[in-house]
Amino acid sequence: MDNMVNIFLFGKKYEVPDNLTIMSAMEYAGYQLVRGCGCRNGFCGACATIYRIKGEQELKSCLACQTKVEDNMYIATLPFFPLVKKVYDIEKIAPTEQIMMQLYPEIYACIGCNACTKSCTQELNVMQYIAYAQRGEYEKCAEESFDCVMCGVCSARCPAGISHPQVAMLARRLNGKYLAPASEHLENRVKEIKDGTFTELIEALMQKPIDEIKELYNNREIEK
């Protein structure tokens, strides 16, 4: 028999095995999830959840698929949060400080409370990446925010109304497109393909009898 714990889903008590994640505990209790469940592996941010352990003051946040239940856990899922997503044409913007001021001016209203960082389900230094965004240091903002799953908990806790995940998203795209060095070998290869450099080789493979391709495959030279 499993060890059982009491949890409270939206205030209602259920007894569940203690080795379950919050997500599987909800299913054990009888919920057929539609919202609040995506990849079930910590990558998609669909299952942002807040909880408080009975008797404790602190309201904690987590991903339901990545967190084990605890005894006397009061749980509320947060399957959607209305983040502010500004639209822009990636081809027409530039990685300048002004672009953040234009699109996400509220980041400059950050009061430094650090609630975002404390609530991050990925344990990222959210306030720090917002600081980098304020200064137009997009490469640093991109790196610091890279593991963000855009669950939105940080924004739910922010007194300044910042949509941190969207700010970071913009910074990463600016960095990926404009700031990271261009890949010459990639440009060259795309051009070679357009020029037909490999056409003959590929056409030969399209016609080759299977046995000859097997011969090629089984005797490939494998790069060390």
Partner 1 sequence: MYPERFTESIKKVEAAREKNISLEPARMTAQEKEDLLKAYHPDYKENEFEVLKIGPNKGEKVPKELAAILQAHSRITADSVNLEKPDYDVDVLIIGGGGAGASAAIEAHEAGANALIVTKLRIGDANTMMAEGGIQAADKENDSPAIHFVDAFGGGHYAAKRELLSKLVCDAPEAIKWLNELGVEFDKDENGRMVTTHGGGTSRKRMHAAKDYSGAEIMRTLRDEVLNRGIPVVDFTSAIELILDDKGNAAGAVLLNMETEELLVARAKTVIIATGGAGRMHYQGFPTSNHYGATADGLVLGYRAGAKLLYADTLQYHPTGAAYPEQIFGALVTEKVRSLGAKLINVNGEAFMHPLETRDVSAASIIRECSDRANGVDTGNGLGVWLDTPMIEKIGGEGTIEARIPAMMRMFAKYGIDIRKEPILIYPTLHYQNGGLDISDDCMTTKVENLFVAGEAVGGIHGRNRLMGNSLLDIIVFGRSAGKNAAAKMKDVKLGKLTLSHVDSFEKEIKDSGIETNEVSPKLLPDYRRKEEDK
Name the residues that contact partner 1, by CB under 8 A.
19-21, 24, 27-35, 37-44, 46, 66-68, 85, 87-90, 122-123, 142, 146-147, 149-150, 169, 172-177, 180-187, 189-190, 193, 198, 201-202, 205-206, 210, 213-214, 216-218, 220-223
* Neighbour count for residue 142 (Cβ, 10 Å): 23
Side chain identity at 186, as an amino acid letter?
L
Nearer to partner 1, 58 or 91 (CB): 91
Give the single-character DSSP code of 117.
Answer: H
End-to-end CA distance of the chain: 51
In whole angstroms, how close is the CB of 70 to partner 1 at the nearest point?
Answer: 13
Question: Residue 53 CA to chain centroid, in angstroms?
Answer: 26
Strand order in the sheet with 12-17: 12-17, 4-9, 73-77, 48-53, 60-63
In whole angstroms, how close is the CB of 159 to partner 1 at the nearest point?
Answer: 26
In whole angstroms, how close is the CB of 21 to partner 1 at the nearest point?
Answer: 5
In whole angstroms, how close is the CB of 9 to partner 1 at the nearest point?
Answer: 13
Nearer to partner 1, 113 or 202 (CB): 202
In whole angstroms, how close is the CB of 173 to partner 1 at the nearest point?
Answer: 3
Helix axis angle, 126-134 to 138-145, nearest 10°: 160
Tell the residue number behind the tokens 């991109």, with chain if given.
142
Nearer to partner 1, 58 or 223 (CB): 223
Report H helices in the chain: 22-29, 97-103, 115-119, 126-134, 138-145, 153-156, 164-174, 184-194, 199-207, 210-218
Nearer to partner 1, 19 or 102 (CB): 19
In whole angstroms, how close is the CB of 13 to partner 1 at the nearest point?
Answer: 16
